[in-house]
Structure 1
Amino acid sequence: MASTDLLITPVSSKADLKAFVDLPWRLYANDPNWVPPLKSEVYGLLTPGKNPFFDHAEAQYFLARRGNKVVGRISAHFDKLALAQPVEQGMGPGTGNFGLFEAEDAETGAALIAAAEGWLKAKGMTRVLGPISLSIWEEPGLLIQGHDHPPTVMMGHNSAAYQPMVEGAGYQPVKQLKTYELDITKNFPPLIERIVASGEKSARITIRKVDKSKFDQEAAIILGILNDAWGKNWGFVPITDAEVAFTGKKLKPLVFEDLIMIAELEGEPVAFMMTLPDLNEALKPLNGSLFPFGWIKLLRWLRKPQVRTMRVPLMGVVQRLQSTRMASQLAFMMIEYIRRNALAHYSATRGEIGWVLDDNQGMNAIADAIESRVNKIYQVYEKTL
């Protein structure tokens, strides 16, 4: 179709925003592996005043139309906290992002990316890192491997057609984020079992469940470990207190005490592992809405989830212990304890760990040692403006 038929406009009204949110339902109508998000959650993500990301970020959304038909969307945004990060860690001065990218065809994709780049350039950005939707802590990267099965909770899914669109716009791969899957019905290899048993005999080590009645205190402990553990990782951007509260409120119904472990060494919290039952298994049939009866089904499911998959979205060991045997031992112990609980109490048979940076040697080695395999790869790209 001729490009003169294609119109790219900024989202500037409630009707535009609704069209922006609704588009994936049409584009993925025939994709059995797409999981419709709750529309209320998407609006919360996109709306300044609701999402504390906008306390330190600016964004502009764009729609692509042919006639009256919406055929694509994209966000252009930059995070002031990311701009203050060291360049060698992936972000840094002049780095903006695009995200929330959907396009019906290559012409639409190219025009949307160009619109996002134009907005970022006008805001003084000199480089684009993407796709990132919207924060690095939400859905970073373009799915380039693993389109044949649904994503787990808080993971992205996109058309395989988008990779050539992004690369055709001049973007170069800069970092891969991997997820690993494993059969949790099987015991870990004997070596790992011996490492866990040795840790259990050590008076120095305590692995404990979180206490949900002290939610805020436990969240603060986990955040402290996370900021220390991930502080030098590629793509790291500090999380604000407001973002912790926002995310905590969303995740609290998914927090089950026996699925989140804190490791203490001589009484000091030094590592944690967070595991979530795969909410996507419950969300998929709801088609994005809790009404009229979806909320009843979801509340019932949340009381005692019985799921196929458990996802480990976050795991961290303080920097002073990283690259030591102790770090691996604590990780294996937390994984094993959660594996047992997931089997015994939630009927789970499959685990997914991720995302994991492609150059995170410690985490990749742990994933290999427990005989997991890469099941999805998300690619982050960059381009100089």
Structure 2
Amino acid sequence: MIELLERDFPSFFDAPFHAYGPDAPYVSPMKVDLKRFLSVGNPLFSDASEFTYFTALRQGKPVGRITAHLHRASNDLHHEARGCFGFFDCANDAEAATALLQAAETWARGKGMTRLSGNFNLTAMQQAGIMTSGFDQAPFTDQIWGAPHLPGLLKANGYEPHFPMTTFERRLDVTPAPQVLPDAQRAHLLDQGFSFAPVTRATIAERLEDARAILNRSFKDNPMFVPVTAEEFHFQAKDLKWIMDPRISKVVHYQGKPAGAVIAIPDLNPLLRRIGSRMRLSLPWHYLQYKARRDRAVVIFQGVMPEFQGRSVNPLMLSEMTRDMIAAGYKTVGGTWIADENTASLRQTEKARAVPLHRLHLFSKELS
């Protein structure tokens, strides 16, 4: 028999660990960060009525979880009445999955929504999708991992897959080293007035505001995109300056104004696995051990202002980033999801010799 709890954060956090077991590639966000995201302090939500979350327990042990929430700005912009589910993690337990999904559906109907879609953790600008292949590949930071049985559990409850996406991985420790842009073309672009703005802990606030401006303009016409407010952006990036490696993010200016940005961070998942995504007294020691050995990085944002697209700004940034990652000892770089319909980004990814890592889809159901 399944017991359903609402807004019980300890069981919500623990559920994936029980559902998947210690050998699964799943990696949780830090417990303190997940709690912060699921709070009224998150500027995504105007108040507590816009989100909730459920945990399914079997014999007192959490075996599944789900959020139900609204993204009002998305519905307003795209003229939809869509509820969102997210953080759907569940054991291969049909009864638990049905209880969770029905709870999310009932909540969304009560808010006047006519459709429920997910995963959104918590928006389309963050982690999105249900993994449909690549289950044996370890995720990078900011990538979703879900068990192979999740798509089947969703389909059994009337959900249909759509909006296919792919995450990618690029090896840097190959011979010859990958070159994204010839040196002569790089020199020509710098002579034209393009320059690299300094990315340091002292300048990170300025560079992140550059990145937000580029994000909002370069992604404006992408499906599901919603402009990100300064409050939302800085809430999500709250601790970025403490985990970033200033050598590997690149912001390009043209005559002093932002033209493009690629924001990359070290892949924290090996560290999070070691500490169970919990604050521990041993965290400083584990962090130093991790930092000495880290060799994976992940691009969490990449964009170019519309007026500079097609002028090799993106290859310029990637070339500089690749060179500095190799020099810093990184061997692999991952990327967050790219939709199948985003053919331009897929072409750039192919040119950079990245290979597919995970396949994902959104799953949706009409609410009668």
Q: What TM-score does the superposition give when structure 1 sets the normalisation length?
A: 0.87
Task: Please identify, of 22-31 and 228-237, the stretch whose mean Cα deviation from structure 2 is larger.
Answer: 22-31
Instruction: Report the counterpart of residue 89 of structure 1 in structure 2.
Output: none
Instruction: Report the counterpart of residue 251 of structure 2 in structure 1.
Output: 262
Instruction: Report the counterpart of residue 157 of structure 1 in structure 2.
Output: 145
Instruction: Report the counterpart of residue 266 of structure 2 in structure 1.
Output: 277
Unaligned runs of 5+ in 2: none
Structure 2 letter corresponding to 1:277 = P
Structure 2 letter corresponding to 1:17 = F
Q: Secondary structure at the match of 2:228?
A: coil
Instruction: Report the counterpart of residue 41 of structure 1 in structure 2.
Output: 33
Q: Secondary structure at the match of 1:259?
A: coil
Q: Secondary structure at the match of 1:225?
A: helix
- Residue-by-residue CA offset, 1:116-145 (whole Å, 9 max, x unaligned): 111101110011121112232332111112
* Cα RMSD (Å): 2.2
Instruction: Report the counterpart of residue 279 of structure 2 in structure 1.
Output: 290
Instruction: Note closer, same or farther for the CA distance 1:70–1:335 as it changes in structure 2 (3 Å cut).
Output: same
Structure 2 letter corresponding to 1:126 = T
Question: Are 1:207 and 1:333, in contact at CA under 8 Å, matched by a contact in 2?
Answer: no
**2:66 is the alignment partner of 1:74:** yes
Instruction: Report the counterpart of residue 4 of structure 2 in structure 1.
Output: 8
Correspondence for 1:343 among 315, 326, 329: 326
Q: Secondary structure at the match of 2:247?
A: helix
- Counterpart Cα distance in 2 of 1:141 and 1:382: 11
Instruction: Report the counterpart of residue 97 of structure 1 in structure 2.
Output: 84
**2:181 is the alignment partner of 1:199:** no
Question: Are 2:86 and 2:119, in contact at CA under 8 Å, matched by a contact in 1?
Answer: yes
Question: Are 2:69 and 2:83, in contact at CA under 8 Å, matched by a contact in 1?
Answer: yes
Instruction: Note closer, same or farther for the CA distance 1:7–1:341 as it changes in structure 2 (3 Å cut).
Output: same
Instruction: Report the counterpart of residue 22 of structure 1 in structure 2.
Output: 14
- Counterpart Cα distance in 1 of 2:162 and 2:359: 13
**2:201 is the alignment partner of 1:212:** yes
Question: Are 2:18 and 2:63, in contact at CA under 8 Å, matched by a contact in 1?
Answer: no
- Counterpart Cα distance in 2 of 1:295 and 1:40: 16
Instruction: Note closer, same or farther for the CA distance 1:35–1:7 as it changes in structure 2 (3 Å cut).
Output: closer
Instruction: Report the counterpart of residue 118 of structure 2 in structure 1.
Output: 130
Question: Are 1:209 and 1:259, in contact at CA under 8 Å, matched by a contact in 2?
Answer: no
Structure 1 letter corresponding to 2:2 = L
Report how far residue 54 of structure 1 moved: 2.2
Unaligned runs of 5+ in 1: 87-91
- Counterpart Cα distance in 1 of 2:29 and 2:198: 29
Instruction: Report the counterpart of residue 232 of structure 1 in structure 2.
Output: 221
Instruction: Report the counterpart of residue 307 of structure 2 in structure 1.
Output: 320
Instruction: Note closer, same or farther for the CA distance 1:319–1:33 as it changes in structure 2 (3 Å cut).
Output: same
Correspondence for 1:311 among 289, 294, 298: 298
Report how far residue 173 of structure 1 moved: 2.2
- Residue-by-residue CA offset, 1:2-45 (whole Å, 9 max, x unaligned): xxx2343433xxxx221111112212224341224322222222
- Counterpart Cα distance in 2 of 1:383 and 1:308: 40
Q: Secondary structure at the match of 1:213?
A: coil
Report how far residue 367 of structure 1 moved: 0.9
> How many residues get paired?
362
Q: What TM-score does the superposition give when structure 2 sets the normalisation length?
A: 0.91
- Counterpart Cα distance in 2 of 1:173 and 1:188: 38
- Counterpart Cα distance in 1 of 2:295 and 2:89: 29
Question: Are 1:259 and 1:275, in contact at CA under 8 Å, matched by a contact in 2?
Answer: yes
